[in-house]
Structure 1
Amino acid sequence: MYPTSKQIGYADKIADTLGIPRPDPTNAKVVREFIGAHKEEFYKKSDEILYDHIKNEIQIMDYAKELGYTLVKKGRYYSLKEHDSVIIDPEKNYFWRNSQPGAGSSIGYGDSVIGFAKMFSGKSVQDIMEDFSERISKIEISDIHRTSDQKLIADEKKDLKEVTLELPEKNENMKRVYAYLIKSRGIESSIVQYFVDNRLLYQDKMGNCVFIGYDKDDHRPVYAMQRGTNTSRRFVRDCKGCDYNQGMYINHGSDTLIVNEAAIDSMSMMSILQTKGCDIKKYNYLILGGSCKIEAVLSHINRDAIKNLVIAVDNDEGGRKSIEAIKKLLKEKNVDVNISECLPEVKDWNEQLRVAVQDGLEYKDISLRNLKLEGLPNRKREFNGYMDKYCQTVKSRTQTINRDLMDKLEL
């Protein structure tokens, strides 16, 4: 018995989509069994292909304008006039919203155009997918043209260096910043002071923490991020004019680079390293300012001849995406560097500090898996010094005992 033309066509589509051999088109039973065995995998693969097409071909910036939002340029990124916590990367067609919680504890919610539509269109997921699917079906994938916005981005790349970083006005004191970081966040006071002394941190007029990154050559500020100190209301925002190719980079001249998502996570790791007896200046640090903002990783690896890259991002979906993106980028660019992952056991490194306190542990007992501890004191020298002191003490006590015995014998 022969299969119907519809069954053959369906089987051919499954085979093409999954990249597997076609069944015998003259045997109805074989074709039916083929369809039954592979249809679930076919549906899943088809959805993945559709999602990828939607994410790649429907531009967030175009869709945002359709919804009536006003785009505002911020360096090589864009934001929305109506929602300034939104950051759009037009090259990756990806967005973040710092005012919304991300995956786990990543800085801000991040997603593709599908997530953007869920958040801002007011439509149901079903309506969104029907709308986007219809749009994709009209696109000839082999003849895709760049949008006018993408062309605009390419033209404006030449002017990125002219964008000036806008820093918030400094406050006359830093009481709220010190209290927030040391008491609320559990950062070692010496680490907070190190950031202040090196102009990496100050308090603005609104009482927020302002973290700053500098250009390696001329030492001008190139990156700044505000972090609220009000524990009951979350506030995180990048300042206008940030250079995301540099990010917040702390250069100690090391060949080992530790990458964190947030400045407070970096401070938390430094607190752990310091309590373990390590020298925090044996490492360089790069703060991404959120998951998947990875451009600066490549810049600093090439610039400072980094040999060891330690990815210490959040232990959540956003962190895993960052790890995959960093590895993919370095592989594509044929960068030769030793890559290791040092993830917290909980969501992020600052929470790791707080959990340790709750469990009655000291920071020095927190595990830093896959991170080689540098700058530890010479334990052998310490032991020898201890033994010398112990022997001198024993010798002194022996001499005293001998004198006492002689005095008694003379009596």
Structure 2
Amino acid sequence: MTTEIKKTYRHFTDEEIQRANSVDLIDLARQYGFQLEKGGRKAMHAKQSGGLYIFKDSNRFYHWTADEKGGPIDFVMKYGNASYQEAVAMLLGERYESYIRESVTYVKEEKGEVILPDKAENFKRVYWYLISIRGIDSQIVSVLMNEKKIYQEGKYGNCVFVGYDETGTAKYCSMRGTYGSKPFKMDAVNSDKSYPFVIEGKGNHLFVCESPIDAMSHATLAGMFKKDWKDDHRISLGCVWDGALERYLSWHPEINKIVFALDNDYLARDKDDNYRNWGQLAARKWCDKYNEMGYDVAIHKPHLKDFNQDLLGIRGGKTPADLDTIRENELRLAFEKDAVDENSLEEFEL
């Protein structure tokens, strides 16, 4: 059993949040050291920022290369490396520490054994789904099925992905439906996300993906571009938490280069309807973390949302440039829907 400290915080009122988001963003950017220049009829551009624009009328910012936008609170969170509570407190000119009310002890429950679903008599439907619908290389699917990392659930025909510990005991299990436009997704009871789904490699190079299908798609693309997919390690985290990565590195001290091949959530939004590219935010955060630990790090960002969408597009005859055009058009439509100033939009050099 492990013990953690759980803290509760003062709730900000709507009026306080509005005041925090009313702080002049242009002045705020200058306080953070940005040198601003005219960037359009109603926008200021931050020099050497990788595409940061600040809109005067709406008091909001947009960072082109990171696909992120928001108001003053989001700006402080991004450029001040602050939590939401810290950002609001800073903008109100108050101390964040004063919001801690109480500490209570929380006892973390240990998981039991993961409960794997029953296997089907054959895996034909899952084999068809992964190859014909998801575009994954048949050799990759066969290898992983032989390694008992993929199988077909008996009752519903779901695709089952399994992660093991170093002794070969199943610890992680996620299920994905093979029917419908919005397929079923669920982790098995007692599934532990600190154990990755693994495509074992032979070298010192590790690709980190979010889902098993992403990892298999990335391996398939490597083979299509004349690389041996078996040379490099690939894991999926099942989320945007790096617990499984830490565990896998402890098993493989020979790995010295990590490439974060996470989702490109360029149209994703947070609870406040602000754009938030969760996958790429995590990739940049982990690059900092693992670089400080001595690893060579890099980011491999998909052209579209994830590497399976890239794979299906390329199998459909599209080039990487075509995929970029699709993404840019989707972004443009989203901006138009959000009524982004057209003159300022031209400055983003789509």
Q: 1:285 to 1:235 in 2, by over 3 A?
A: same
Report if the CA contact (8 A) 1:187-1:268 is conserved.
yes
Do residues 258 (structure 1) and 258 (structure 2) align? no
- Output one character per residue of 1:367-400: Cα deviation in whole Å (capped at 9) or x when no partner: xxxxxxxxxxxxxxxxxxxxxxxxxxxxxxxxxx
Q: 1:358 to 1:143 in 2, by over 3 A?
A: closer
Distance 1:357 1:54, change over 3 A: closer
5 Å-filtered alignment, 1:35-74, equals 44-45=71-72
Please say if residues 219 and 229 of structure 2, whose CA atoms lie closer than 8 Å, have aligned partners that are also in contact: yes
- Any idea what SS the aligned residue of 1:281 has? coil
- Is the aligned partner of 1:301 residue 2:257? no
Q: Percent identity?
A: 27
**Cα gap change, 1:143/1:233 in structure 2, threshold over 3 Å: closer, same or farther?**
closer
Measured after TM superposition, the shift of residue 287 of structure 1 is 0.3
TM-score by length of 1: 0.52
CA distance in 2, matches of 1:262, 1:327: 19
Aligned to 1:175: 124
SS in structure 2 at match of 1:178: helix
User: Which secondary structure state, in structure 2, belongs to the residue aligned with residue 282 of structure 1?
Assistant: coil
Inter-partner Cα distance in structure 2 for 1:201 and 1:308: 27
Structure having greater relative contact order (Cα 8 Å, sep ≥ 6):
2
SS of structure 1 residue aligned to 2:258: strand
State the AA in 1 paired with 2:261: A
- Corresponding residue SS for 1:258: strand
Distance 1:313 1:211, change over 3 A: same
Cα distance 1:46–1:288, how it changes in 2: closer, same or farther (>3 A)? closer
State how far apart, in whole Å, the 1-side matches of 2:311 and 2:77 are. Answer: 42
Letter in 2 for 1:348: D
Computing the radius of gyration from Cα coordinates, the structure with the larger value is: 1
Secondary structure of the residue that 1:259 maps to in structure 2? strand
The residue identity in structure 1 corresponding to 2:285 is A
Match of 1:400 in 2: none
Does residue 268 (structure 1) correspond to residue 217 (structure 2)? The answer is yes
1:228 is matched with which residue: 177, 195, 199? 177
Q: Output one character per residue of 1:192-219: Cα deviation in whole Å (capped at 9) or x when no partner.
A: 1111011110011211100011112x11
Gaps of 5+ in 1: 1-12, 21-36, 58-131, 367-411
Relative distance call for 1:142 and 1:55 in structure 2 (3 A) is closer
1:209 counterpart = 2:159: yes
Change (3 A) 1:211 1:53: closer
For 2:118 and 2:301, how far apart are their aligned partners in 1?
A: 35
How far did residue 311 of structure 1 move? 1.1
Residue identity matched to 1:188: D
The one-character-per-residue Cα deviations of 1:94-119 (angstroms, maximum 9, x if unpaired) are xxxxxxxxxxxxxxxxxxxxxxxxxx
1:140 and 1:342 mapped to 2: Cα distance?
A: 36
Distance 1:56 1:296 in 2: 29
Taking structure 2 as the reference length, the TM-score comes to 0.60
Superimposed CA distance per residue, residues 211-268 of structure 1 (whole angstroms, 9 cap, x where no aligned partner):
011112x110111110110133322222222222222233334311111111111111
The CA distance in 2 between the partners of 1:358 and 1:183, in whole Å, is 12
Distance 1:166 1:139, change over 3 A: farther
- Distance in 2 of aligned mates of 1:56 and 1:248: 35
Task: Please identify which structure carries the higher strand content.
Answer: 2
Q: Structure 1, residues 71-114: CA drift from partner, whole Å, max 9, x if none?
A: xxxxxxxxxxxxxxxxxxxxxxxxxxxxxxxxxxxxxxxxxxxx
Q: 1:353 to 1:143 in 2, by over 3 A?
A: closer
Measure, in 2, the Cα distance between the counterparts of 1:17 and 1:187. Answer: 48
How far apart, in 2, do the equivalents of 1:360 and 1:137 lie? Answer: 52
Is 1:142 the counterpart of 2:98 in the alignment? Answer: yes
Is residue 335 of structure 2 the alignment partner of residue 349 of structure 1?
no
Q: How many residues end up aligned between the 2 structures?
A: 248
C-alpha root-mean-square deviation of aligned residues, in Å?
A: 3.9
SS of aligned partner of 1:171: coil
The code of the aligned residue for 1:304 comes to H
**Closer/same/farther in 2, CA of residues 18 and 267 from structure 1, 3 Å limit:** closer
Contact 1:264 1:350 in 2 (8 A): yes
Q: Distance in 1 between matches of 2:148 and 2:235?
A: 16
- Cα contact 2:85–2:96 (8 A) shared by 1: no
Unaligned 5+ runs, structure 2: 1-22, 32-55, 61-69, 266-276, 324-350
Partners of 2:281 and 2:170 lie apart in 1 by 28
